[in-house]
Structure 1
Amino acid sequence: MLTRALLPAVFLAWSALSWAECPPLLNHQFRTLQKKPIDLCQWQGKPILVVNTASKCGFTPQFEKLESLYKQYRDKGLLVIGFPSNDFWQEPKDNEEIADFCKLTYFVEFPMVEKSAVTGDDANPFYKQLKAISGNSPRWNFHKYLIAPDGKTVYSWGSSTKPDDQKVMEKLLPMLGS
């Protein structure tokens, strides 16, 4: 029988085991624009929609559909996560300004991580892995990657594909049991 004194040790052992099983693609930690940590291993077994964003882009209104998807499906396990980047010279703002813009203009509640590179040699390691697995690198802002619950399969769509496009939904909905 577990006693109260043993619970912390059991929890730590369980946590270490679950992180040890985390797929390499999800073995990344980030800080949100609000300085909160987010560990993608916590999302293993669930679909993750990853999008590189910029506040001064013609595709910026896609924030509305991203937020709508997040609100509609987060209770079924969907994580939408934004990666602000200035790789295409359309995100000149700093992290605090990006957070304010997303919250005040598009009412974004899904996690947005700190600004980083998503293309080329300077791309963050997570994006390098997304490119290696999918064969596609963002050619512009609002490129979308959908990571399947297995943490290994990655689907990729360019900027002009809207977050709720039929091509995206055909992959996403079965992952949510819808």
Structure 2
Amino acid sequence: MRRRVFLGLAAAMGALTGRASAAEAPGFTFPSIDGGELDSMAWRGQPVLVVNTASLCGFSGQLREMQSLHETYGPQGLVVLAVPSNDFNQELATGAEVREYCEMEYGIDLPMTDILPVARGEVHPFYAWVRQQTGFVPKWNFAKVLLGPDGQVIGTWNSFTRPGADSIRQGFAPHLRG
């Protein structure tokens, strides 16, 4: 009985403070690099790999791997989201330039946000939530956050972990269709 009361109070406090329970991750909207918005709630029920990118970074070859994951596992439900950021001074000046460069250099057609702050200053609410939930803050470009179908963080990785690394694949593989 005491445990049930405590859990009820904890749930009520979560609701009052605006914090989502473990089963209810919040949804986020991102400005799309193509205009309009990308809504993470549209991806509920699917694993989502979120990567902060930068066109002029030495790790930008990872964009090729991100595109490969998108093509290979996208039909099975994996969403790969590129989040261009200039937090580390290695991104082009505008979203249009980023989109053109990524299409021409890497053949990117996966979803991309407009240029967003992810680690410094007033970061996008998604990255503030990831920090609050896990303590993870991108230390450089090409940091990865994997969300499960419920929107909760499954894992985080630094720039040196490639998008197709076994640890990342093992995180999303159980959640793929077919």
3-state SS in 2 of match to 1:120: coil
Runs of 4+ in 1 over 2 A off after TM superposition: 22-25
Residues 1:160 and 2:168 are matched in the alignment: no
Whether the aligned pair in 2 keeps the contact of 1:52 and 1:118 (CA below 8 Å) is yes
Query: SS of the residue aligned with 1:81?
Result: strand
| Pairing 1:53-92 to 2, within 5 Å after superposition | 53-92=53-92
Residue 59 of structure 2 contacts residue 142 of structure 2 at CA under 8 Å; is this kept in 1?
yes
Residue of structure 1 equivalent to 2:129: 129
Cα shift at 1:24: 3.8
Q: TM-score under structure 2 normalisation? A: 0.83
CA contact (8 A) 1:133 1:154 kept: no
Residue 131 to residue 154, structure 1, CA distance change in 2 (3 Å): farther
1:109: which partner in 2?
109
Give how far 1:177 is off. 5.0
Deviations 1:96-149 (Å, cap 9, x if unpaired)? 100100111100011111111001341111111112222210000000000011
Corresponding letter in the other structure for 1:50 = V
Q: Please list the CA deviations of residues 35-94 of structure 1 after superposition, one character each: whole Å capped at 9, or x if unmatched.
A: 132111011111000000001101000000000000001111111101111101101321
Point out where structure 2 has 5 or more consecutive residues left out of the alignment. 1-22
Amino acid at match of 1:79: V
Q: Which residue of 2 aligns with 1:15?
A: none
Q: Cα distance, 1:152 vs. partner?
A: 1.8
Within 1, Cα distance between the matches of 2:151 and 2:96? Answer: 30
Query: Which amino acid is the alignment partner of residue 71 of structure 2?
Result: K
1:95: Cα distance to partner?
A: 0.7
Counterparts of 1:109 and 1:23 in 2: how far apart (Å)?
A: 30
Give the 3-state SS of the residue equivalent to 2:30 in structure 1.
strand
- The TM-score, its normalising length taken from structure 1, stands at 0.83
User: What is the count of residue pairs matched by the alignment?
Assistant: 156
Contact 1:134 1:154 in 2 (8 A): no
Instruction: Give the Cα–Cα distance (whole angstroms) in 1 for the partners of residues 74 and 92 of structure 2.
Output: 30
**Where does the alignment leave 5 or more consecutive residues of structure 1 unmatched?**
1-21
Report the secondary structure of 2:38's partner residue.
strand
